[in-house]
Amino acid sequence: MSQFAPYLRFLGCLAVLMVAASMPLCFFGYRWLPHTSRLCTFFLVLLLSVQGVITLTTEEVYNANLNIVCVVLALLVVPLTWKLPTITEFCVGALVGASLVIEVFEFTGNESIWVFLFALVAGGGMGFVCRRRRAMLICAMAFNGSMMLVTAISLLLLRLPENFAVIYFGGHALIFLVGVFIQYKFTAKGIDHHGPTFSDVVLGKNMIETPPPTVYQQV
């Protein structure tokens, strides 16, 4: 058995998980924001921890058990941030920045520590930009979903075509645009998780239509 067999099995399981997560993120991301943001938190921690393992280890010292540690770490972060929507929404944008840097440099074969640090900086910047912004969160969710889908498909392919980079980024862009369109027009239409709630609107309307009692009415 090849020494990379455990790693290949891990990639196969990860690809199946990413396919399952890509659809709700890409097409229902903002509608189900409290849940999909936690999903993005899990994948952000998993992505950075796996990338850290790849960056800091060599083929001679690689241990497949490190992948299990990465999954456990990502699973532990989710309940810790379950009631912290500000952090989970930050992770939605952070996943965009970090994954974009990693997938671009991955095609160049560059896996240095500087790429990992650049991914951290880009993730932090995008996380701050997307936080509590409806339009940015919709685009970020569509990006994350499309990225997971095309990445999962590439992991499941036994042989990559010569022009795979064009197919990869072209498919990523196409699915991203479709996801943004569907969310804006259908699944996220009329939904604003950071605006006034329906009960707030009704309460304000009642206060306007019902003036406070006068002194004579109180007596």
Q: Which of 97, 92, 88, 87 is nearest to 126 (CA)?
A: 97
CB 44 within 8 A of CB 27: no
- Mean pLDDT along residues 70-91: 94
Phi, psi (rounded to 5 degrees) for 43:
-70, -30
Predicted confidence (pLDDT) per residue in 154-204, tens digit: 888 867 777 888 889 999 999 999 999 999 999 999 899 876 644 444 445
**Full-model pTM:** 0.84
Amino acid 113 reads I
Q: What is the pLDDT of residue 3?
A: 59
Q: What is the pLDDT of residue 198?
A: 44
CB 155 within 8 A of CB 12: yes
Predicted confidence (pLDDT) per residue in 21-68, tens digit: 999 999 999 999 999 999 999 999 999 998 888 888 776 666 767 888
Query: Which tokens in the block code for residue 155?
Result: 């992991």
Handedness of CA 160, 153, 93, 184 (dihedral sign): positive
Q: Provide the residue count of the chain.
A: 219
Tokens 């989970």 map to which residue?
Answer: 88
- Mean pLDDT along residues 207-214: 57
Domain boundaries, the chain: 5-189
CB 81 within 8 A of CB 90: no
Q: What is the pLDDT of residue 197?
A: 47
Q: What is the pLDDT of residue 214?
A: 54
CB 101 within 8 A of CB 53: no
Predicted confidence (pLDDT) per residue in 134-161, tens digit: 999 999 999 999 999 999 998 888 677 7
Maximal CA-CA distance, the chain: 91
- Give the other-Cβ count within 10 Å of 206's Cβ: 9
